[in-house]
Amino acid sequence: MSDGIVKQRTIAKETSLTGVGLHTGKEVSITFKPAPPNYGYRFVRTDLEGAPEIEADANYVVNTQRGTNLEKLGVKIQTSEHVLAALVGMEVDNCIIELNASEPPIMDGSSKFFVQAIEKAGIEEQDEEREEYIVKEVISYVDEESGSEITVIPADEYQVTTMVDFETKVLGTQNASLKHLSNFKDEIANARTFSFLHEIEMLLDNGLIKGGDLNNAIVYVDKELSPKTMEKLRDAFGKDQISVKPNGILDNLTLHHPNEAARHKLLDVIGDLALIGTRIRGKVIANKPGHHVNTQFAKKLSKIIKIESRNKIPKFDITKTPVKDVNEIMDMLPHRPPFLLVDKILELSETHVVGLKNVTMNEPFFVGHFPGAPVMPGVLIVEAMAQTGGILALSTVPDPENYLTFFMKINNVKFKQQVNPGDTLVFNLELITPIRRGIVHMQGNAYANNKLVTEAELMAQIVKTKNT
């Protein structure tokens, strides 16, 4: 797209898959359905009463022992990462994920079958713009216990590199990189999950991995295979014979890539970081990643994004024809120069108003307010904000010229930046609660030079003048 705007995407029609749940061993179905813009990813448990939803959100992560497990109000989703990686990898922003059990089918232990299903359903572009968090500085999370570390650094697009070191002879150090998300399908999607023999033994002893046959996990043999273990494995996987290949894996399958383990870890990172809920423009470098460190990093990044979006500067077109010019403002407000502190109204609805003031050196207050270093007094910024809010309040009555607006309360005022001659101040006020009995409760923000300069919570009352 030439203008650089990327639109959100969903799938064109619904598509389903059936398979076995890795830990439950039961047959489960997953259905991907189109979703509206700004919906994100949500799991829906169709097997439970009321079909409860769980958003794919890092704050719902409760357990990362064998996969990333989410829980909301007692409703669980297990091993969400392979499904989420497929959606991110196929650049789908919004999707309903219906499950008739607590976990998706494991399929072959990769994202390949989910990617194929999404491809079959087709992708549809939506009207809304895709939100993307542009990484501007290095952000890291370190897990002291495991030595795992995830860092994101500025980059032109979303990239992921994983460095894996299991400190075992059979599987030493491996790396994998994804330079463009468009390569996910061919380079990463078919990388299967893997386990070490000692983990498989423990899971079998505890009655877990009921759905695990040898076709959905690469098993690295990191210890001597005793006759007893051989028997257990033959039994568990319904095979007459089991042996170890020269490369140290069980003879159930052939590796798709020499570094398939590192590629699968990269797939997991993409799936787990989908829980941030916002696309990332930056390069993720994951050293010894695992579901715990991945999801802790996702929580950290999601918190940073929320804080930054709260302080995000809205875009106002200050060149467009105003909704009200200064003469129309004076028709509504009783203030007059030098105490009229709003030049024009840019936007006005039932719940918000946007006003503008050009701050010039001719302002009378600069004569006495630090003449050598003129700064607009903070109280006058709040007054200007209140006058803008007055327009919103008075626009609710048919004869605004017969009313006055009086302050009742000002709370949580913060002055964040100086306002100097030459600045253009833009005030954005939004109703916190609907107007009742002439009482107006607003959140006001003032911006200049693409920065938030002042914020305040204002309460005012509109009162009819006595001479009417």
Active site residues: 291, 369
The Cα-based distances of 196 to 21, 164, 176, 203, 287 in angstroms read: 20, 14, 20, 11, 19
Residue 45 has, within 13 A of its CA and on its CB side, a CA count of 21
Q: How far apart are CA 276 and CA 278, in angstroms?
A: 6
Burial (CB < 10 A; 0-12, 13-18, 19+), residue 364, is exposed
**Cα end-to-end span (Å), the chain:** 59
Distance from CA of residue 80 to its chain's centroid?
Answer: 16
Query: What is the H or E stretch that residue 76 is in?
Result: strand 75-77
Neighbours of 139 (CB within 10 A): 16
Backbone φ, ψ for residue 156 (5° rounding) = -75, -20
Q: How far apart are CA 70 and CA 43, in angstroms?
A: 10
Q: How far apart are CA 117 and CA 112, in angstroms?
A: 9
Q: How far apart are CA 240 and CA 352, in angstroms?
A: 73
Contact 88, 183 (CB under 8 A): no
The Cα-based distances of 114 to 14, 17, 234, 262, 340 in angstroms read: 12, 8, 29, 20, 62
192: DSSP letter: P
- Nearest-5° Cα angle at 410, 405 to 415: 120
The residue behind tokens 């009086």 is 406
Q: What is the total residue count of the chain?
A: 468
Q: How far apart are CA 210 and CA 22, in angstroms?
A: 6
Q: Is 154 helix (H, G, I), strand (E, B) or coil?
A: coil
β-bridge pairing 403-415 and 424-436:
unpaired
Neighbours of 34 (CB within 10 A): 19
